[in-house]
Amino acid sequence: MRISLLGKFQLFVLIFIVNNSYAANTIKEHHKESGLSCDDCHISKPFESVETGQCLTCHELPERKTDYHQKPDKHDSPHYGPSLDCENCHFEHEESVNFCNDCHEFNFKIP
């Protein structure tokens, strides 16, 4: 069975919509278990990105350290201090990433 170019485009659009709809309707388990809903984080407009300030209504910023004891602290970078935005690593609706691994090789589990 051959699919026309229009059919392929329509299939692509359908997959894109379904995939994004699924992602937008997921909340990570630790937030779900805390009883959070979309409105708890998306306070300005539904589906608008959440800035670090909103994360800080529940989470605390790490403190600046003077000694790393030969181990990196995932929330206090020797390069940026504790000032990186949360969304450099943490994504609520998709898999989180280890921003440090853009240049290094650390085995941090990122929720």
Q: Chain-wide mean pLDDT for the chain?
A: 78
Report whether 42 contacts 27 (CB < 8 A).
no
Tokens (6 digits) for 1: 């069975």
CA–CA gap between residue 7 and residue 106 (Å, rounded): 44
- Return the C-alpha torsion angle 5, 9, 10, 11, nearest 10: 100
pTM of the entire structure?
Answer: 0.63
Can you give the residue ranges of every domain in the chain? 5-63+70-102
- The mean per-residue pLDDT over the stretch 35-45 comes to 86
CA distance 96 to 29: 13
Q: Which residues does 73 contact at the CB level (< 8 Å), separation at least 6? A: 62, 65
Instruction: Tell me the C-alpha to C-alpha distance, in Å, between residue 71 and each of 65, 89, 101.
Output: 12, 19, 15
Each residue's pLDDT tens digit, 74-98: 888 888 888 888 889 998 888 999 9
pLDDT at 71 over 70: no
